[in-house]
Amino acid sequence: MEHTSIILYCNSEISYIEECINSIRSFTEPGTYEIIAIVNSNASEESIDWFTEQTDIVISSCKDNAKLQEAWNGVIHISRGDQIVFLHSNTVVTENWLTNLMQCLFVSEDIAVVGPLTNYFTGDNQMIDADYSTMNDLLIFANEQYRNGLVNGFFEKKLVISDFCFLIKRSALNKVGPLDEELEPKSFMKDYCLRLLEAGYKSALCKSVYVHHYSQLQENNSGAPLFYDKWSFDPQSTLPAMDLLAQLKPKGQTQRILMVGCGCGSSLMKLSNLYPEAEVYGIETDDVQRYLASLVGDVGLGSFSEQLSRFERRSFDHILVTPQFFEASHPLKSLKLMLDYLHEDGEFIIELANNRSCEAFRILFSEEVTSKHYGLQPSLSDISIFIENNSFYQPTVATFEKPLDDRDIALFNQTKSLMSPVVQQQFHISKFIMVARRLPETSLLHTLFNDLITAYTEEKLERILQYYPSPNVKAIEIYNGPAIPLLNLLAIESLERKKYDDALLYLNKAYELEPMDSSTLFNLGTLTYVLGDTEDSLRWLKQVHDKNEEVQQWIIKMEVEISQKSEDLKLLKLLLLRVEYNVERENNITEISERLRNKIVRVEDVLSIVEDDIIDKSNTLNLVAVHCYQKDQSEPAVTLLNKSLEYDPDFEPTILHLAFVHIQNGNLDRAYHYLKSANKQTPAIYEWLQKVKHSLDEGVQ
């Protein structure tokens, strides 16, 4: 094995440093490496004493508070290895870590730098979920990752990797030069990976090596503008758009995928790794990022329309669009151009930055230099109207929330008088991702209907049900075949899959076409009964003109249920009034809780009666909610507490109980939000707020 230099900047606590170095000694082949420890001039006496006793470590010094890359650059000239590992001193390496990293590094000549998997968020998609508490468990977990790597592929080429642990060829280091000391620690590694890329090298993730990382050191984040000045884009643009890619569900491996606004190409690389049989292409209008993306993926030259025109029309199964593209383009005009290149059954996946978000407001009211331009972003409403007017199914929209910190909450309180209720509700939403599939041609659907009716199979049925119900219904309206039986069949199958809205759409159309059809009336009765509307179900069943014995028994059963339901609601109203006026309050609360548990009444029934008949709404709901929570009925408890807060946002018991529930569920951010948002900071709320804030601060450390 070739000789490797392992360089550590020892700015962690001495206990971390000792554990890191001892793990290197335990799990690295003797004689194949040297350790170079960089100790700053302000190191503790304990640290200095410990290093003095070590005979197998090369000790170097640096000035106090030296940047990470500055300290590392300072010792490269004294290192003797053919390869160099740069390692944070608060890490723990595992068995065969260096051997396996070396194997990955020399898979191909163009790989210059590799990094391992880890437990701590690095921002570079190297983190995996980990669950261990002892060194033995850690080693078992690391061996599991090694075996997974052997089965699923032990390396993955990436645009950038994290700086917490990386192995680099000295030849590449000599060619590209030292790390950029002007940049902040959180972006210098991204910068270096891009410089390697420009020099013809690639970075890679070694998925068969796992290194434990205790935490990231406290770092100055003010250097992002320097990265932006150097590259003309934000460091975040070097990372794959994982939330966007997660919405992609290809029907098969041989798909054609176009990513518009592909940035530097990291998402293109991730797509190629996820779907190796797919054809992946990119479009990027920023010159610098387009050049970098062209080094790792299939990205064309020229303007947006010129890049798009090189493809065949209607050739893409999926077109993914990023917020970055909307910042540099006329969004709706560009989407219209893309339509011609989307397959007749293809889909748009569009990520939109929320232009009503906390971050958008902060930029609006500040003078910060930023690469984000929310004013250029289309709204969700704009895109929804475009989709509706261009022959797509009803799209699905996923929302992504960002926890609010003290600064965010202060901004909200300062500006909420300027916001509409809708804007206030979206303040914590950072982005939306819309998935919209094109409507199939009516002739195609008619062919599918005929095939299903001629020879029924589950496969043929699934092919129809994969489409949204609205185009199916429109096609059935002009279908020459047996429309009513087909609509009822699709409704029943949707009901079995618990797609109740779809089933209702099919049955409503069947009723519209033939109001007296017994199958339709019976199925409407069944569906409404499943949805909990016994009275509506009874209404439908009574319209069936040829009632068999089964239908008649159903009608009798429902009439009894409706009569009993009326009595149950009368009793619930009495119980809630007695709670409000403190008449045997505990007994009545217990009775309400038990009736909710046994599904005799619903939480919606409680809310309805409180709305119509209770005066002290917040307190009554709060009392019932607390009892429910104590009896392990957390879902109705939270619903009742949230409604209580709507009636009185300053009611201290509700605020404290909501905070308590979220603390118990481990959601300290949400608890902090409720406490911080209280207009009246009572002594109890303030005390809880400080305790939660302390816990959050401890968690960060």
Region 4-235: CATH code: 3.90.550.10
pLDDT per residue as tens digits for the range 636-680: 889 999 999 889 888 989 889 888 888 887 778 788 888 888 888
Instruction: Convert the pLDDT of each residue in 675-694 to its tens digit.
Output: 888 888 888 888 888 888 87
Q: What is the mean pLDDT of residues 481-494?
A: 94
Tell me how far CA of residue 636 lies from CA of 92, 150, 277, 594, 599, in angstroms. Answer: 45, 47, 47, 12, 12
**Contact (Cβ atoms closer than 8 angstroms) between residue 555 and residue 535:** no
What distances in angstroms separate CA 146 from CA 88, 142, 163, 164, 211, one per listed residue?
22, 6, 21, 19, 11
Confidence of residue 563 (pLDDT cuts 50, 70, 90): confident
Q: Could you read off the pLDDT of 107-129 as tens digits, one per residue?
A: 999 999 999 999 986 665 788 88
89-98, 239-248, 420-429: which has the minimum mean pLDDT? 420-429
Q: Is the pLDDT of residue 221 over 50?
A: no
- Break the chain into its structural domains and give their ranges: 4-235, 240-437, 442-547, 563-700
Share above pLDDT 70 across residues of the chain, in percent, rounded to a whole number: 93
Average pLDDT, the chain: 87
Give the best-scoring range by mean pLDDT among 184-193, 258-267, 567-576. Answer: 258-267
CATH number, domain 563-700: 1.25.40.10
Q: Count the alpha carbons within 13 Å of 238 in the hemisphere toward its beta carbon.
A: 27
Q: CA 478 → CA 201, 449, 450, 514, distances in Å?
A: 59, 12, 13, 14
- pLDDT tens-digit map of 357-410: 777 766 666 544 444 554 557 888 889 888 888 878 778 999 988 877 777 777
* CATH code, residues 240-437: 3.40.50.150
pLDDT at 91 over 90: yes
- Separation of alpha carbons 236 and 26, rounded Å: 36
Query: What is the pLDDT averaged over residues 337-346?
Result: 90
pLDDT at 699 over 60: no
Helices and strands counted in the chain (H then E): 33, 17
CATH architecture of 442-547: Alpha Horseshoe (1.25)
Residue 701, pLDDT above cutoff 50 = no
- Alpha-carbon distance of 415 to 672, in angstroms, equals 20
The reply to whether 563-700 shares the fold of 442-547 is: yes
Judged by average pLDDT, the poorest of 5-9, 21-25, 39-43 is 39-43
